[in-house]
Amino acid sequence: MRILLVAATAAEIGPVTAGLRRDGERDLRTTRYGGAGHHVDVLVTGVGMVATATWCAQALCRERYDLALNLGVCGSFDRSLTPGTVVHVVSDRIAELGAEDDETFLSIHEMHLLDENEPPFLNGALVNQSPPVSATLADLPAVSGITVNTVHGRDQSIAAVTRRFAPQVESMEGAAFMYACLVQGQRFAQVRAVSNLVQRRNREAWKMSEAVASLGGTALRMLSEL
């Protein structure tokens, strides 16, 4: 199987690449690996939606993959998803895409600039309706997410985005990856590990190393099943 593995930073997928055989560089951002019977192109996009969308679009236009897999960490709004928990993000939204109307936020759909069901959107969200078959993936909590340019860390903005979208997790890249895959008709999965609860910024409470380790173990099990 030919797989595109996408991450914002190399650190987030260190345990995954350590479990694969490096076969050389594909380009500036992509390294080729082998393992578990697969050819794996690892694309490290850099942080944020713009970088992720651009590099994913280039990769998916250049080559056809059996599966695209986005791995990374995330923050959790859902207190039951404690740091270290690995989740399958099946629905994602671009939370800041819209306009302010005094104290009210209007989404791009509410502004009638884009229909809620205009491809690749479904009811205003980016939805993975055909994830790959994997027992490990099926066992993960299936969650809804938002993708942001500014990570939430203020009580008022956390409360506001929770009222609007009721998200369970947030990242800075997930929706961009899903958008690119949906446009290209590419089968995909977005898998993330919770590194912290979404709250006032408190790095001491983050569990980054635990999240990366959990993510790596989960990803390697998935690859062995595919």
Beta-strand (E) ranges in 176-216?
Answer: 188-197
Residue 160 has pLDDT above 90, yes or no: no
**Highest-confidence segment of 19-33, 97-111, 129-143:** 129-143
Coil, helix or strand at residue 4: strand
- The pLDDT of residue 206 is 85
Report DSSP letters for 26-94, one per residue: -SSSEEEEEETTEEEEEEE--SSHHHHHHHHHHHHHH---SEEEEEEEEEESSTTS-TT-EEEEEEEEE
- The pLDDT of residue 155 is 86
- What's the burial of 155, exposed, middle or buried (CB within 10 Å: 0-12/13-18/19+)? exposed
What percentage of the chain reaches a pLDDT higher than 90? 77
Which domains does the chain possess? 2-225 (3.40.50.1580)
- Helix H or strand E segment including 181: helix 174-184
Question: Residue 136's closest CA among 67, 87, 68, 89?
Answer: 87
Residue-wise pLDDT tens digits, 163-206: 999 999 999 999 999 999 999 999 999 999 999 999 888 777 78
- The pLDDT of residue 97 is 87
Please say whether the beta carbons of 198 and 152 come within 8 A.
yes
What percentage of the chain reaches a pLDDT higher than 70? 100
Residue 13 has pLDDT above 80, yes or no: yes
- The pLDDT of residue 125 is 96
